[in-house]
Structure 1
Amino acid sequence: MAAAAPPSDEECPVCHDDFTDPKILPCTHLVCRKCVLSWLHTGGNQAGCPLCRASILPHGCSGQDVAALVDDLPTDIITKAAVESRRVLNEKHVCVCDGTTKATSFCMQCSIKFCPSCCKVHKMIPATREHEIKQIATLTVDKLAASYQSSCAVHPGRPVEQFCSSHQELICLNCSTSTHRRCPDVEGIAGAAMVKRQRLKEQEKELEGKKDELQLQVCQLDIAAADGLTTFKAMKDNVKSTFDELRNILDKRCRDATAEIQNKQDEFLQDNKSQKSDLEKKRARSAALCSTVSRLASASDDPLLAMLVKLKSRLEDAELLSRHNDVRQEVSAAGIGDFFFDPQSSAHLKKQIAEYGQMRDPKQPQRPFRG
């Protein structure tokens, strides 16, 4: 199983390389497409997320094209743009004209580096003279990633400029005057993104609270485990101390009582471990969802809307947003203490011990101890 969290937001947690085609799993964890395919090939179609074991593919998909199912998983275009931007800025800056001349400019639309001479030519061409040219020295990963612009799904090559709330789609101007002309809720990308971003910020704040709440509950389980172990140790010590006084006669009973308590301890720890595991999984999902929301909230308008359309159901995960009860457990040994260590019961037991030798005759029924 892969590590619980990747060392970098731009690094695949499975192969530990930079993301190339980051896929958003149903649990909102990010894994490279090739790693998802490899993981499913190794573990079968029902293999869970390498981070939290949540299902990757829908149940009953046996016999279907796994590659096609993986391709249907949403691609995190925000992370993909950031990784590609970092790659562009880290590689050698040479002009496309000969591959050796130093490039000083970068066309944000064409994603091409130019030397000063080629940059002048680029600005003279009618089709590209309006393109935005940036000096490479002033570019940052965030600026370059933010320049990413989605193309219309219906009219490839045309930039999306509006958002249809009725169909939850990014559309170009051609679409707004044709297939979406009768839609009542078509607005500019900036306006739609502003509303969505505000909602995302509110959700991010809520998720941060839920993440902290889950972490607190995990800590409470740790405290409950420590308290439980202390209680169980005290119980076993009391049992041993009590039966030491009667060792010659009650040695077997002492071992039996210790074993009973050990069984209860095992049950307690198993239950604690199970609850903690469930909370850890929810916390991991909460952290992954929070990270996704954070990335979305800081993204530029059109990819933000594009991703929200695909991730709407995941961002409204009712299980993560529901309130969790206090999970701390209280363990009491009062019932056992009353039976074993009550002074009146001890006196009665000593009396029975004094008479116990008379019960060794196998022909006589053995009377049970009564506290």
Structure 2
Amino acid sequence: MATASVIEEANERECSVCHEEFREPKVLPCGHLLCRHCLLSWLQSQPQAHCPLCRCVIVEGGAGQGGASSVEVMVEGFPTDLAMAALVEAQRLLSKDHRCCVCEDVAATSLCLHCGDTLCKACTRVHGKLSVSKHHRVEDLTSLTAEQLTASRPSTCAAHPEETCKLFCPSHGLSVCVLCASSKHRGCPQLKDLQEKTEEARALLAEMAARLSAGEAEIERAIGELERHLQDTETRTKKSVAQMEADLDRLQAALNACRRRIGQLAEGATSDDREAVQDGKNFLLQKRSKLTSHKAVIERAKGSKKGDVVNDMMSSMEQRIQELDCSATLPANAKVISKVSLAIDPGVVTRIEQDLAQLGQVNTVPAVFTALSNLHGSFSFHDNHGKNIVLSNNKQTAERTRENAYAIVMSRDPMQVGVLYEVQIDKWDTCRAAIYGHLIPGVVTQRPDTLTLPQWSGELLPAAVVYSSGVIHCGSTAHKSSTIGSVLTTLRAGNRVGVAVDSSHGLHLYVDGQDQGVVSTNLPQPCYALFDVNDYTRKVTTLPLTKLA
């Protein structure tokens, strides 16, 4: 079975299901590729299908509940790696037994990249002397690569294969020739030069690649921190054991049993840490695998010389890359790592000399996961949410799908005192029906699974919410004027909004990490963080929990 930490791909142009060169390769959520027909049969044969390479789930919740037609629609929704398809097609062409297009019965040795003719040695010399072809680029078939062949082929029009695409139609998302532009696309506004559009798309692909690279680097750093933490734990344990053995040496043979016991305790003291670190490492390796695989797709597209490939790949992959989790955060339920302290009670050594019945002891101090001081698990949203909200990314991303109402989300778990619960606005759009125009934060003091959610947070009791012109305090239906939330009207995509409960049970509003002040006091406990994804705000994602000073 393939694991997230060890993935072997013998041939990047070979499908891992049929073990043949790709035919219409589809990009899976993990970034790996499968032939379209292989993916279709794979999902139809096993609804809970995983990627054959990394075991990531292909479709959350399984596929096929709606029958074969729904699986086909699902498969069509996966992006096609056009850059890989072009490379495979070029490789197939190069692997053929080529004959000279002039002599016919003589083996070809060269290929003219300009006109596509295969030529024998004699015809190659003639081809290079003719005035019409002497400037053509002719390559030896034995050294010509699929990448070179793909790059040499111009983008041709689907309707007129003999014509080269010169323009791009944004209305239809197509690369077209001059003939199509003057006929089929005459009424389409803003036809663009294909080269100009290609450069724009390549720039966007470069930004995607940079985001994936940054995510890879962050995960690499986090893995390094985990490994260093484990190494430090083992070093501290060894030092402690060495000191203990120095004391035990004084007891000679009578303390051999105690020595064995100490060794067992030392191993037990680090076993939980080792397991927790390995789990965290495997989780991060799997995330890195996704980023690396998608990065390979993006790099191929970015490097493609075909304008239509670059543009189509940019369009089909942009949403996918935006939704990928590039952070190095560990899951909220990550196993706790303890701080280990091994020592013999100083008084015990003396007493052991007097009475061998006394033994050393090992003290293990429980602690929260502190291996990565700046990496804490992000909180997740509760399954009970507004009907116009869709959750994704392990229930850490909430996106409003329709009108403003019924868009409340709440934290799954109760809030910890002195911890900031924060979300980032991922998507922002203009809504003509905007009433308040901003994300509405707050808390609810009743378990989310017991609530019937209203249209908007101001009607939800018992809760405390804040918006631009005032506050609704917990236990009161009255709106009280306040300017504390006026900053919410300035929010856009990229801004952060959070809430925190202090030790006096006061609710604080945070914007971009800055405390705006106390919103409500004397909150009943426990509290659950609340966010109303309202009006201009379209999509938010939870951020790592932050312990406040």
| Fold in common (TM above 0.5) | yes
Deviation at 1:299, TM superposition (A): 0.6
Deviation at 1:94, TM superposition (A): 1.0
The answer to whether the 8 A contact 1:208-1:290 is kept is yes
**Which residue of the partner structure matches residue 80 of structure 1?**
85
Q: AA paired with 2:316?
A: K
**Which residue of the partner structure matches residue 31 of structure 1?**
34
**Which residue of the partner structure matches residue 206 of structure 2?**
201
**Which residue of the partner structure matches residue 227 of structure 2?**
222
The answer to whether the 8 A contact 1:94-1:113 is kept is yes
Change over 3 Å in CA distance of 1:346–1:167 after alignment to 2: farther
**Which residue of the partner structure matches residue 59 of structure 1?**
61
Change over 3 Å in CA distance of 1:330–1:323 after alignment to 2: closer
**Which residue of the partner structure matches residue 281 of structure 1?**
286
Kindly tell me the number of residue pairs found equivalent between the two proteins: 336
Deviation at 1:253, TM superposition (A): 7.2
Change over 3 Å in CA distance of 1:229–1:47 after alignment to 2: farther
**Which residue of the partner structure matches residue 149 of structure 2?**
144
**Which residue of the partner structure matches residue 404 of structure 2?**
none
**Whole-angstrom distance in 2 between the partners of 1:236 and 1:180:** 79
When Rg is computed on C-alpha atoms for both structures, the one with the higher figure is 1
Deviation at 1:29, TM superposition (A): 1.6
Deviation at 1:332, TM superposition (A): 4.7
TM-score by length of 1: 0.69
**Whole-angstrom distance in 1 between the partners of 2:57 and 2:117:** 40
The answer to whether the 8 A contact 2:99-2:106 is kept is yes
Change over 3 Å in CA distance of 1:140–1:347 after alignment to 2: closer
**Which residue of the partner structure matches residue 532 of structure 2?**
none
Q: From 316, 320, 341, give the equivalent of 1:314.
A: 320
What does the per-residue CA deviation read over 1:162-199, in whole Å, with 9 as the maximum and x for residues that have no partner? 33445645456677567866655431221111112123
**Which residue of the partner structure matches residue 359 of structure 1?**
none
Deviation at 1:309, TM superposition (A): 1.5
Q: Structure 2 regions of 5+ residues with no counterpart?
A: 127-131, 364-549
**Whole-angstrom distance in 1 between the partners of 2:40 and 2:268:** 43
Change over 3 Å in CA distance of 1:185–1:48 after alignment to 2: farther
Q: How large is the Cα RMSD of the aligned pairs?
A: 4.6
The answer to whether the 8 A contact 1:106-1:133 is kept is no
**Which residue of the partner structure matches residue 51 of structure 2?**
49
**Whole-angstrom distance in 2 between the partners of 1:34 and 1:244:** 70
**Whole-angstrom distance in 1 between the partners of 2:59 and 2:101:** 43
Deviation at 1:275, TM superposition (A): 0.9
Q: From 4, 21, 25, give the equivalent of 1:22.
A: 25
Deviation at 1:271, TM superposition (A): 0.7
**Which residue of the partner structure matches residue 126 of structure 1?**
none
Q: Structure 1 regions of 5+ residues with no counterpart?
A: 121-128, 357-368
* Residue 93 of structure 2 is aligned to residue 91 of structure 1: no
Aligned 1:1-371 pairs, distance under 5 A: 1-2=1-2, 4-12=7-15, 17-33=20-36, 36=39, 40=43, 44-63=46-65, 64-65=67-68, 66=71, 69-70=74-75, 72-95=77-100, 100-103=105-108, 113=118, 135=138, 137=140, 140-146=145-151, 147=153, 149=155, 151-152=157-158, 161-165=166-170, 168-170=173-175, 184-239=189-244, 242=247, 259-300=264-305, 301-320=307-326, 322=327, 332-334=339-341, 336-337=342-343, 340-341=344-345, 343-344=346-347, 346-347=349-350, 353=355
Q: AA paired with 1:6?
A: E
State, as a whole percentage, how many aligned pairs show the same letter: 26
Structure with the higher fraction of residues in strand conformation = 2
The answer to whether the 8 A contact 1:28-1:289 is kept is yes
Structure with the higher fraction of residues in helix conformation = 1
Q: AA paired with 2:227?
A: D
TM-score by length of 2: 0.49
**Whole-angstrom distance in 2 between the partners of 1:16 and 1:85:** 18
Deviation at 1:40, TM superposition (A): 4.8
**Whole-angstrom distance in 2 between the partners of 1:186 and 1:111:** 30
Change over 3 Å in CA distance of 1:220–1:304 after alignment to 2: same
**Whole-angstrom distance in 2 between the partners of 1:298 and 1:219:** 31
Change over 3 Å in CA distance of 1:313–1:53 after alignment to 2: farther
What does the per-residue CA deviation read over 1:191-245, in whole Å, with 9 as the maximum and x for residues that have no partner? 1111121232344344334323322332333333233233334444555555665
**Whole-angstrom distance in 2 between the partners of 1:135 and 1:38:** 42
What does the per-residue CA deviation read over 1:2-33, in whole Å, with 9 as the maximum and x for residues that have no partner? 56143454344566654344322122222344
**Whole-angstrom distance in 2 between the partners of 1:114 and 1:188:** 34
The answer to whether the 8 A contact 2:219-2:328 is kept is no
Deviation at 1:270, TM superposition (A): 0.9
The answer to whether the 8 A contact 2:48-2:57 is kept is yes
**Whole-angstrom distance in 2 between the partners of 1:79 and 1:103:** 26
- More relative contact order in 1 or in 2 (CA 8 Å, sep 6+)? 1
**Whole-angstrom distance in 2 between the partners of 1:25 and 1:102:** 41
